[in-house]
Structure 1
Amino acid sequence: MKQLREVTKKALLVPLLLPTLALANKPATPERPNIVLFMVDDMGWQDTSLPFWDKKTYLNEQFHTPNMEKLAEQGVMFTQAYACAICSPTRVSLMTGMNAARHRVTNWTLYKDKMNTNTVKGLKIPKWNYNGIAISEDLNNAVYTPQPLPKLLKDNGYYTIHCGKAHFGAVGTPTENPQNVGFDVNIAGFAGGGPASYLGKENFAKVNNPNSIWNIPGLEEFNGQDIFLTEALTQKALKVVHDSVPKNKPFFLYMSHYAVHAPITGDDRYEEKYIQRGLSPIEAKYASMVEGMDKSLGDIMKYLKRHKLDKNTIVIFMSDNGGLSAHARGGLANTHNLPLSSGKGSIHEGGIREPMIVKWPGVTTPNTKCNQSVIIEDFYPTILEMANISYKENKKQPIDGLSFVSELEGKKSKNKDRAFYWHFPNSWGPQGPGISFYSAIREGDWKLIYYHTDQRFELFNITNDIGEHYNLASQQPKRTKKMATKLTKYLKEVDAQMPTFAKDGSPVPYPSEIETIIER
């Protein structure tokens, strides 16, 4: 036990020691900016002491994220940043610039050539792209992506590092390894969407199951140590940045944490203080995972500053979907993202609205907020514009995203009147408001949701009703019909898949085809 404590003590000191290593080994400051994309898994809009609303709530008081607060002081907070409600669709949109309705990786991926579910609630799920991203055209049920984001960065001089969760290619396909989409280095990324264990003491693996599909690969040097997965990933990422980035080359670090995805596991460094604050045992564990994630962000920011890289490094903070709430949490289900309704898996705001911060030295105005809506596929053209990389759009990979560089510059938005779209012809599994089988559009203040199971509509004024309490579809039939028509047009333009009725094989009608429901 004494020996284990010594190993642990040394391991925990690594992030403190890394910044003090010989400056001669640090990456040189390149002309193009370095880019750190810090992606958190399943982190809700309210899972932070930094309020993204116009007021602080009791949920914000529950968490401690000082480094998110510090990053916001140095950059711009986006109060209306959107992703998909499930992880793989978001990550594929990030890598491709395409909306999920177009790329058809509409649910989470895992096994090659196998859908997670087939028929649910009387609907037969279409054969979506459950194999994920493909780098050649000979893989069925996959989205061919000739220009993945990291490949374009790499081809234009960036040293590209993937660390943590990948989850955009199924087991047995080339893209289960992030290096096949353009990353020079892959740290612990594989086909699985969550870790078997967060504990180095358990080798980040299922106890007594060395062959579990959820076991995290590539972190063998931490096996047996008393170290949390979030910490191990951070240490290894900084070591690669420090030791491996070639001189005079900019780097792109995709710091893609497994936290705070299930299994909800207490981080011993922080858990006890949340118990002392009176949180339930499961919520204390969850809050400790959030704080461990925040420490990782702080360690990266400290490293950049110590090595004089902070002035030329863009830091982007984002989550891949809303906070888990339908199951596995303490307290009442579907309440963990209040005032937002529902959570992960839902088209309600709790499932798709994310905490987002961008620090771009010399461009973003410190300590500011941006209320313009952005969506995950926008990251693709934005990051390329940040890196001053031009590209020709490939017909096989049309780009749906729009750059939000003008928003970062504090200029008038070029995308003010733009509509946003979501499409999920799938079943996630857990139950809750807005979960599974939907298409949706947000335009201005308004969001229209169309449910495939019963061809029902919800219309909300998000600005006046952020909690989506008042369905105005029947009160505003003209608006409902107009938005349903626009949503239908988009779904047809991108050739979105619709589920079919199991009883007779007929397709679920498009939103604009439900005249009787719209007009009632």
Structure 2
Amino acid sequence: MAASMWTFLLVICLVLITVDATPNILFILADDLGYGDMGVYPNPNTTHGRLDTPNLNTLAKQSMMFTDGYAGAPVCAPSRCTLMLGRHTGHCTVRDNGQSLKDDDITIATILNKAGYHTALVGKWGLGSNGTDASPNNKGFEYFYGYTSQENAHDYYPPFLWHNEKQMEISTNKNASAKKCGYPYTTHCVWAEDLMVNATLKYLEEAASSSTQPFYLFHSFTTPHAGGIGSDGETGVPAPYDLPQYKSEWPRVERDFGSVVTMQDQHVGEMLKKLEEVGLDKNTVIFYASDNGAHNEGGHSYKFFESSGPLRGFKRSVHEGGVRSPLLIRWPGVTKPGTVSEQQWGFWDFLQTAAEIAEVPTTSLPDKLDGYSLVPTLKGNNQEQPEYIYHEYCHPNEDHKGWGQGIRFKNWKSVRYNANDTTVELYDLEDDLSETNNLASQHPDVVKMAINYMNTAHVDANFCGH
């Protein structure tokens, strides 16, 4: 009887420890996945059917799903900068691909690491090279496996990947080319995404076996971004094999695009299964999002699957299609499964959200943050909408116009193509989600407010070439 009592008390203690344990944080980031690519998001005009994303659809049912989530920028590196630093693109130090974080930039990985988290990055970094102060290991990540270079990440079959600051050769991929590894010889080379997903699965196993430390794991996919085989060129979306749901009469690049989206979905399913297998699922907060809107590169057309859904524009646009992102957040025991939120949230809000999840005091956070914590919304409480959602991009957008800014405040969305223009476009997203009816001439007071927001949000620190 006494032994049974001790067993009972031990079980109770373990349950209490599990409940009270500091949550792990897993952020899964897709690369160039459009708002309409995930099956649970609206896509009213598709003529080729919805992409097959069963695991993400299931995750959405288990999560709080956001209709008004925003990536940090309409392209890769600036978007990741906002996610790391908690600043929007008007203040972030990386505002274009090919730039690096600055020496004094403090990332969420550094903050969580100092708070006792083990920190890991698997996949694409794109914010600084190894051997510099902007390498992943020098920006807060204790473990890194993947690509440091924005351009090298275009190569789906690279000759090496980085493990921390050491190059790990992939001998099968030496001299990889479309001739050597393309159809029907894709199994002759190794798809980097498989290696990176395996690294994440192994990491989760090891994290479970050393249960003394919570973790922050950032898994940064390179798909469905355009890429190549043995090359940094964006010549297609080279899937390792065909999936039967994508029809043989479709263009190869579109079958490949659909296949890599579904393969990413399968890989996310493997991560979710692994969390459950090793007993981490109940104490891990999962974020899933895309780094910008749908791409239109490598011969792929974003219109083939209507990847932007009901939104205007695509990657590189400051219209909604370039910056609005699918966003799922699952926090077991906190977020109510299957809820849909219209709370507006951008990547620069992740830092403060993650910090509050990890119970990091606000006094330990950097100054001059642009974001806010979404935790009250995740707990089912009402929050005021942020004053505005701001994006900028240093190059022409999909309309082939100049340096662009986009601002959303309440339901208004305004776009300005050149930083010094006194004219802007203005849309009411509540009635015109596709941004087709420019109301600027009818609302001069709102236009004035939009220009004021844009002028205030942008700080010119020689990061943009205008």
TM-score tier, shorter chain, comes to: 0.7 to 0.9
**Residues 393, 399 of structure 1: 8 Å contact kept:** no
Residue of 342, 363, 371 corresponding to 1:371:
342
Residue 94 of structure 2 is aligned to residue 98 of structure 1 = no
Residue of 220, 241, 258 corresponding to 2:170:
220
Q: Which amino acid aligns with 1:76?
A: M
Residue of 184, 197, 202 corresponding to 1:234:
197
Structure 1 position 60, deviation (Å): 8.7
Residue of 26, 34, 38 corresponding to 2:24:
34
Residues 334/294 of structure 1: CA separation in 2 closer, same or farther (3 Å cut): closer
Residues 155/192 of structure 1: CA separation in 2 closer, same or farther (3 Å cut): same
Q: Which amino acid aligns with 1:377?
A: W
Q: Percent identical across equivalent pairs?
A: 28
Secondary structure of 2:150's aligned partner: coil
Other-structure match for 1:43: 33
Distance 2:172 2:219 in 1: 18
Other-structure match for 1:464: 431
Deviation digits for residues 301-327 of structure 1 (CA, Å, limit 9, x no counterpart): 000111111111111101111110266
Residue 17 of structure 2 is aligned to residue 58 of structure 1 = no
Other-structure match for 1:134: 102
Matches within 5 A, 1:95-494: 95-109=84-98, 130=99, 132-135=100-103, 144-145=104-105, 147-170=106-129, 173-175=132-134, 177-199=135-157, 203=159, 217-218=167-168, 220=170, 223=173, 226-243=189-206, 246-263=210-227, 264-276=236-248, 278-325=249-296, 328-330=299-301, 336-392=307-363, 397-413=367-383, 415-416=384-385, 418-424=387-393, 426-427=394-395, 432-433=398-399, 436-452=402-418, 455=421, 456-491=423-458, 494=459
Distance 1:321 1:194 in 2: 19
Distance 1:495 1:334 in 2: 38
Secondary structure of 2:122's aligned partner: strand
Distance 1:375 1:59 in 2: 30
TM-score normalised by L of structure 2:
0.82
Structure 1 position 274, deviation (Å): 0.6
Residues 76/334 of structure 1: CA separation in 2 closer, same or farther (3 Å cut): closer
**Residues 46, 59 of structure 1: 8 Å contact kept:** no
**Residues 327, 333 of structure 1: 8 Å contact kept:** no
Other-structure match for 1:512: none
Deviation digits for residues 411-432 of structure 1 (CA, Å, limit 9, x no counterpart): 101x3252111222x225xx62
Residues 378/436 of structure 1: CA separation in 2 closer, same or farther (3 Å cut): farther
Q: Structure 1: state its 5+ residue gaps.
A: 1-27, 110-129, 136-143, 206-215, 502-520
Secondary structure of 2:206's aligned partner: helix
Structure 1 position 465, deviation (Å): 0.9
Secondary structure of 1:274's aligned partner: coil
Q: Which amino acid aligns with 1:45?
A: Y
Residues 252/500 of structure 1: CA separation in 2 closer, same or farther (3 Å cut): closer
Other-structure match for 1:72: 60
Structure 1 position 61, deviation (Å): 3.1
Structure 1 position 369, deviation (Å): 0.6
**Residues 452, 499 of structure 1: 8 Å contact kept:** no
Distance 2:285 2:305 in 1: 34
**Residues 226, 297 of structure 2: 8 Å contact kept:** no
TM-score normalised by L of structure 1:
0.74
Residue 74 of structure 2 is aligned to residue 85 of structure 1 = yes
Cα RMSD between the aligned structures?
Answer: 2.9
Q: Structure 2: state its 5+ residue gaps.
A: 1-16, 175-187, 228-235
Secondary structure of 2:325's aligned partner: strand
Other-structure match for 1:213: none
Q: Which amino acid aligns with 1:100?
A: T
Structure 1 position 174, deviation (Å): 2.3
Distance 1:59 1:386 in 2: 41
Distance 2:154 2:91 in 1: 31
Structure 1 position 194, deviation (Å): 4.9
Distance 2:340 2:47 in 1: 20
**Residues 97, 150 of structure 2: 8 Å contact kept:** no
Q: Which amino acid aligns with 1:260?
A: P
Q: Which amino acid aligns with 1:473?
A: A
Structure 1 position 485, deviation (Å): 2.2
Secondary structure of 2:125's aligned partner: coil
Secondary structure of 2:288's aligned partner: strand
